Structure 1
């Protein structure tokens, strides 16, 4: 794992950020760019929101509300308005006007209170969802793969606060952060079966650099990482070398997404004793960086 000299890193100051909406969220997370705009969650409230593709401020559209924490979602291919969600103790399909349809609840009945956290689909249409202990007990969390037939499989254990997961364009590499450890690892993935190879260190954050939270991969194959506690977003090349950092005007930056000529971040008031004026905002700034839209879940069942 190579660490570059600081002279190689492009730094962008915390300027030109704009509010995407007037609301402030306790734990904004899971920013995803879809065909008709930006989607994100307020995790502990169990709420999913949408914002239109324009860059100006607008009231967020409530898309779904659950009675359990909602970690992240992905759209369901060919079913407008339907989402697959990592929520509460498992994974559910969210359909307009009906109760959630649970595909699996693997953390229900666990020895300690658990909840799902971040999640995303790979290019083949499988949904990968992480879990963690409600009190962030070290090593209690897991990574699950939900196949196109709706079956859920625990593929990694021993995680504490897992975030990501994200994939390269070929779906042959998975990048996964464990925020509590300050570590991002990569796994080779068999695109056909979803089988994971062993973990390889990709980036380790040092003291004072923040905790790796939500991530996205841009069209050039570079990884963007929201850094909780540091008010920064980092960009790493495919070898794990830091090449750019963007300052954000509030410390708890939780996810990052690109779309509509904009770089979007979610932020949080969570765990701030004295939240600043930007804490909990959804922010955007002009950017020439492009990234694929959120990958959908592609179910093989009706």
Structure 2
């Protein structure tokens, strides 16, 4: 098993950094600070992240995925989807849970190879089975993909788009589903990895170009590389308790982390909690897939 150590590459500390996406068109990293409602753009130069621009919404933002035409991003924000233009203009789109914004929020959203967006809703109190996963389809519609989830989290597809990997941090599971890229339909589920929360559970994930999953371990101070059957092939060590998600920029693995919920004494022992980290892992991964669906110009 290979071992790596990730180094901090950002000056800023995010409260709950999440959803890193490498935008190949802009040659930038975009990530979110969920409860701050913030979307951050970074340039990665000389092994450091330099801020480009930030946007702040009036609600939590779970993820930002680039639009196929390069004009902005599709946000999973509040309980639905919002378009964010480069100049900061926002457009309300589809609400996946109307009237439930006080108890639910979007937690993660990733685009599949066809350009759909798959997003998870979760309850603020993380009650078991209180969330679900939706698919934002190419025609602008939204449908339930996985019912009764707890902390719907990282999502990624293999290069053919026929297998979807998905983590539920509340259940401590990383699973793989058969997937039809033509229709967005799920097939059979199999468990890839199960971990106890005391040892760190799979949070955000990314696939490398060899088809292996890199999973940030929330509560586990590390990122694991596992093959599709769950065999651990590599580990990346970090000096913070809460790695939250990962993304590839070539062979560089970028890792977001979180300070959320840590008390003062814990933070004193890990002052880099909330920083972004990076390490060259010697294998490349694809950039973020853009959203290619319709964007209805109204809240429905």
The TM-score, its normalising length taken from structure 1, stands at: 0.91
Contact 1:33 1:257 in 2 (8 A): yes
Q: Which residue of 2 aligns with 1:163?
A: 153
Q: Which residue of 1 aligns with 2:62?
A: 71
Mean CA deviation greater in 137-146 or 200-209: 200-209
Q: Which residue of 2 aligns with 1:26?
A: 15
**Alignment deviations for residues 84-136 of structure 1 (CA, whole Å, 9 cap, x no partner):** 11110111211234642232112222396100011100010101111000111
State the alpha-carbon separation in 1 of the partners of residues 285 and 204 from structure 2. Answer: 15
Deviation of 1:286 (Å)? 2.6
State the alpha-carbon separation in 2 of the partners of residues 267 and 113 from structure 1. Answer: 24
- The answer to which structure has the higher strand fraction is 2
SS of 1:181's partner is coil
Q: Which residue of 2 aligns with 1:118?
A: 108
Match for 2:2 among 3, 7, 10? Answer: 10
Match for 1:217 among 195, 207, 230? Answer: 207
Ranges in structure 1 where 5+ consecutive residues have no aligned partner: 1-8
Match for 2:243 among 253, 276, 282? Answer: 253
SS of 1:53's partner is strand
Contact 2:212 2:228 in 1 (8 A): yes
**Alignment deviations for residues 111-164 of structure 1 (CA, whole Å, 9 cap, x no partner):** 961000111000101011110001111111111101112111112111010111
Deviation of 1:300 (Å)? 4.6
Cα distance change of structure 1 residues 260 and 241 upon mapping to structure 2, 3 Å threshold: closer
Match for 2:175 among 185, 201, 225? Answer: 185
**Alignment deviations for residues 40-64 of structure 1 (CA, whole Å, 9 cap, x no partner):** 1111111111111324334423342
SS of 1:288's partner is strand
Q: CA RMSD in A?
A: 1.8
SS of 1:45's partner is coil
Contact 2:197 2:219 in 1 (8 A): no
Contact 1:20 1:55 in 2 (8 A): no
Q: Does 1:297 align with 2:286?
A: no
SS of 2:199's partner is coil
State the alpha-carbon separation in 2 of the partners of residues 56 and 98 from structure 1. Answer: 28
The TM-score, its normalising length taken from structure 2, stands at: 0.91
Deviation of 1:67 (Å)? 0.6
State the alpha-carbon separation in 1 of the partners of residues 138 and 158 from structure 2. Answer: 19
Contact 2:20 2:256 in 1 (8 A): yes
Deviation of 1:301 (Å)? 6.1
Q: Which residue of 2 aligns with 1:201?
A: 191
SS of 2:109's partner is strand
SS of 2:15's partner is coil
Deviation of 1:180 (Å)? 1.2
SS of 2:293's partner is coil
Q: Which residue of 1 aligns with 2:225?
A: 235
